[in-house]
Amino acid sequence: MKVPLSGRLFTFGLITCWYSSNIGVLLLNKYLLSNYGFRYPIFLTLCHMLACSLLSYIAISWLKVVPLQTAVGATTPFFTAVFAYLMTLKREGWLTYITLVPVVTGVMIASGGEPSFHLFGFLMCVGATAARALKTVLQGVLLSSEAEKLNSMNLLMYMAPVAVAFLLPAAIIMEEDVVGITIALARDDSKILWLLIFNSALAYFVNLTNFLVTKHTSALTLQVLGNAKGAVAVVISILIFRNPVSVTGMLGYTLTVIGVILYSEAKKRSK
């Protein structure tokens, strides 16, 4: 079925907003963690989730952007969608899976060609990617259920506090006295406070547009777009921070972009 032009433009706009905010957060994270020397990634992520919790609550409960959906009722689409998936076992076309090969291969080549490559960091990235993929699939079924579906703002409002509950003890244990250190830094240089606030607000828009892109495309499409976004972010990072890059790394990023283009064509044909 052919998608109307207005629908395609809307989806393209969502993807553009997601890319812009996502790459902005990545670059700010790199600046804070590497250039500025604020080496507390767990606390930084905690700030992101706190902002998501607060801004989602304000948008729903105060500004009434979307109706509030109760937590108990919100579990209905999850179980409905999961059971429906288990019974129907929906799969993508074989051509779609083939086009994912250059995407994954390109990322692996690019990682191996990274001048600051570290095996443990690479394994952690793989684990994070798998967890992100699971999150994407779950949010996809929650947002697209034929039953009592959640909207993206409500899903973010319920998800973010759960993330805070996990991140808070982790930050306290693994990044000792990070709150005191941050306060001391803010007293010496107020710029760090504004950077954290702006970075956290931007993270809210990343998560919100992430949910919206999932709703209007698919979980698999989101992951492929995420890989392409990584390649774009690397290029921008090189231009801004003058990071060294190898021929192998550039080959990997090029292969990833080619895979994304092939994937897009395969999805068009499947429709």
What is the pLDDT at residue 56?
92
Domain that holds residue 54: 5-270
Percent of the chain scoring above 70 in pLDDT? 55
Residue 111 pLDDT grade (very low, low, confident, very high; cuts 50, 70, 90): low
Tens digits of per-residue pLDDT, 39-75?
999 999 999 999 999 999 998 999 888 888 776 444 5
> Looking at residue 89, what is its pLDDT?
54
Q: Report the mean per-residue pLDDT for the chain.
A: 76
Can you tell me the mean pLDDT for 232-239?
71
Instruction: Assess contact for 92 and 218: CB atoms under 8 A.
Output: no
> Which residue has better confidence, 226 or 28?
28
What are the pLDDT digits (tens) for 138-197?
A: 666 666 655 556 777 888 898 899 899 999 999 999 998 999 999 999 999 889 999 999
pLDDT of residue 44: 95
What is the number of structural domains in the chain? Answer: 1
Angle at which helices 5-30 and 219-241 pack, to 10 degrees?
50
Predicted confidence (pLDDT) per residue in 192-217, tens digit: 999 999 999 999 998 888 778 877 77
Segment 104-112 mean pLDDT: 64
pLDDT at 38: 92
